[in-house]
Amino acid sequence: MSLEIGQKIPSAELHVKDADGIDVFETVAGFAGKKIVVFSVPGAFTPTCSIKHLPSYLEHYEALKDAGVDEIICLSVNDAHVMYAWGLDQKVGDKITMLADSAGDFSQALGLAVYMGPVIGTRASRSAFVVEDGVITKAFVEEPMVYEVSSAENVLANL
Residues 6+ away with beta carbon under 8 Å from 121:
115
Cβ neighbourhood burial of 40 (10 Å; 0-12, 13-18, 19+): buried
Residues 6+ away with beta carbon under 8 Å from 108:
none
Active-site residue list: 49
Pair 139, 3: CB distance under 8 Å: yes
